[in-house]
Chains A and B, each alone.
Chain A
Amino acid sequence: MTTHDPTIPPPRRLKPWNAVERGLARVGITGRMLVLIAPLIWLLVFFLVPLAVVFGISLTSKQFGRPPYTPLLTSEEGTVQLTLHLNNYIRLFTDNLYVAAYLSSIRIAAIATIITLLVGYPMAYAIARAPDRWRNILLMLVVLPFFTSFLLRVYALTGFMRGNGVINQFLGLFGIEPIVMMQTDFAVYVGIVYTYLPFMILPLYTTLVKLDVSLFEASADLGARPIHTFLFVTLPLSLPGIIAGSMLVFIPAIGEFVIPSLLGGPETLMIGRVLWDEFFSATNWPRASAVAVAMLLVVVVPIMLLQRAQGAVVEK
């Protein structure tokens, strides 16, 4: 009797992926977890492992050879010895240079972030309120500078600010003496604001464009003047954009190296330059690593505070 039993489904053809999925499911891994694992592996390979290497080097001592630091682990007659040098970290506190450099970096980054916000907010607002057909073109113009090399753009700024540059030649038309702008903190601010402006405008724009226009109308109907509507309606509602944009400017600006070395003067003390000197001039990789780890902590704390602030805003 070989009649086909209709209650038994025909054997399903397994595609290779199905087999993989089943295999993974058997050990408890679902597709959703796979999606999460990819960024985790990325983070592990490109962030945590390098950070661990840097942290490891920061606990060694300098020597001249390859590699230019003492080994962390040494094995002698079967016993493995771990040698930790904490003096690199102690030095960060005993030598006033490092604290001064951190503070100066934070100050420069904070001032630059505020200027970027003041410049970027009206631009983002104008783009968000522009007619639909203009918006994409305006956004494109904001992103356009990224099509040239960052280094080239910073160099181009020197053409504007140098003694016989565009600005001074223009001032010269009115008989004004050339102003020294290059190699000053002013030039560094111009460099940071110019370079990071798109990072401020884009998150601000995304928040502002989503704001419900009827709220403004309601505010106006209830008798608020435009300035009040802006201060008490628009500004609070755009706070997540302000925080996101400020973080995107502030954090990379702290560790900035290229802008202060090309535009800044000798007194423009920033941690990126101190790091460069430790690494290259003094060939002290362990201390440079300690400076880098400490810098990460300096940056992580404000990020966490801002994240918390942003979380609170969103919950409201």
Chain B
Amino acid sequence: MKKSLAIALGAVLAASPAIAQEEPVLNVYNWSDYIAEDTIANFEAETGIKVNYDVYDNNEIVDAKLLAGNSGYDIVVPSGNFLERQIQAGLILELDKSKLTNLGNLDPAVMATAANQDPDNAHAVPYMINTIGLGYNTAKVTEALGPDADLESWDLLFKPEVVEKLAGCGVAVLDSPSEVMGIALHYLGLDPNSESEEDLAAAEALMNSIKPSIRYFHSSQYIDDLGNGEICLALGYSGDIFIAADAAAAAGQGVEVTYLIPKEGAATLFDFLAIPADAPHPENAHAFINYILEPEVVAAITNYVFYANPNLPALEFVDEAVKSNPGIYPPAETIEKAFVMQAHSPDYEEVLTRTWTRIKTGQ
């Protein structure tokens, strides 16, 4: 009698946490080439949670999936300007910080900047810091522009008489209106987050002046093309250009790719780990975020993807070659000139998209 009661009690005790526990599954939606090769396998081995891993190459796709609802994803990695709106629209779950024991590892300065987009850092954790700059094929650009060319400035892209010399070997630009137009505004000495019509018209005129030299607008094609010499200049994400440089070096075809944060200052983006409001496995998502916050884990990702992370104790695990690369961990004066993109109002968003289509297609 006693024994059976004990068994029954034991069964109840064993069953109750099982009821509260989620099935051991986690659905992650991350940028392409944005995690170390073994991160997911290590997380699975440590926690027993099975990870379904999907990738995308632009913020707009994530935005659309969250807006449609029931995306099924537990982790998404939006950039700050997109995250800001997603939080306002109630698409992102508030974090349970009691489950994020490693949160203290993050750089307070980065957290303060991130709070501009995520008030009180309540909804998301900065994952990687990247810049938008220029990637170029060193040999081809030098050949086209001559040995005395200024390879430190945004002039490479935004000065018509310079970029037209590069048109022959191929110029690509991100297909992202908010980011590219923000950079164009910054180059003109205007506020990159401006919503004024005059400023937008000035940026449009600038883009139109270089448009004849641009072969295409795309947000991931340039990684391959820069790496195999198909194009010689790309406005792109720092980590992607480093991947292209790495691929070029590995291919041994004599293509050398350089990443440049122009001296006038580059756009800095924070990508955040966030949990959609309707995520099916929020518990596992918290466990995943906390795992990424471990210094060794995130350092291994940085060593692989060549993006800086905001994790202070992680720095000692970052490879010396990565740490000392000014394109990945920029010096203080570059950081001072960097600027952060903010979310636009829906009305401006529409004007911006229309302007962007006009720039791209001439219609």
Contact = CB atoms under 8 A, between A and B. Distances in A.
Interface stretch (A15-23, A121-129, A276-284, A298-306): A276-284
Interface stretch (A42-50, A95-103, A223-231): A95-103
Contacts of A65: 67, 89-90
Contacts of A282: 349-350, 353-354
Interface residues of B, number: 39
14 contacts: A64-B85, A65-B67, A66-B68, A66-B69, A97-B357, A163-B170, A164-B228, A261-B218, A278-B353, A279-B64, A280-B58, A280-B61, A280-B64, A282-B354
A181 to B, nearest CB: 11
Nearest to B225: A162
Most chain B C-beta atoms within 10 Å of own C-beta, residue among A265, A266, A274: A266
Interface in A67-114: 67-68, 95-97, 100-101
Contacts of A281: 60, 177, 353, 356
A162 B169 CA distance: 12
B216 interface: yes
B219 to A, nearest CB: 11
Given A97-B357, A163-B170, A274-B357, A280 B63 contact: yes
Given A266-B361, A284-B353, 20 more contacts: A62-B350, A65-B67, A66-B68, A66-B89, A97-B354, A97-B363, A100-B363, A163-B170, A164-B228, A164-B229, A182-B230, A266-B360, A269-B363, A278-B353, A279-B64, A280-B64, A281-B60, A281-B177, A281-B356, A283-B349
Nearest to A162: B230
Interface in B86-110: 88-91
Q: Report, as a range, how many residues of chain A touch the other chain.
A: 20 to 34
Nearest to A279: B64
A277 B215 CA distance: 19
B362 interface: yes
B60 A280 contact: yes
B217 interface: yes
Nearest to B63: A283
Nearest to A97: B363
Given A266-B214, A267-B362, A281-B177, A67 B357 contact: no
Nearest to B214: A266
B274 interface: no
Interface string B61-79: 1011011110000000000
A116 interface: no
A162 B85 CA distance: 39
Contacts of A164: 228-230
A22 B349 CA distance: 61
A183 interface: yes
A279 B363 CA distance: 18
A279 B358 CA distance: 16
B346 interface: yes
Interface in A161-182: 162-164, 180, 182
A67 B89 CA distance: 10
A242 B61 CA distance: 39
Contacts, number: 85
Most chain A C-beta atoms within 10 Å of own C-beta, residue among B229, B230, B349, B361: B361
Contacts of A266: 211, 214, 216-217, 360-361
Contacts of A269: 361, 363
A56 B293 CA distance: 45
Most chain B C-beta atoms within 10 Å of own C-beta, residue among A68, A269, A278: A68
A108 B34 CA distance: 37
B89 A64 contact: yes
A100 to B, nearest CB: 5
A66 B134 CA distance: 36
A265 B91 contact: no
A262 B57 CA distance: 14
B216 A67 contact: no
A190 B221 CA distance: 19
Nearest to B168: A180
Interface in B26-66: 58, 60-61, 63-64, 66
A62 B90 CA distance: 16
A267 B361 contact: yes
A162 B230 CA distance: 7
A30 B349 CA distance: 56
Nearest to B345: A64
A62 B347 CA distance: 10
A283 B357 contact: no
A101 B354 CA distance: 13
Contacts of A265: 215-216
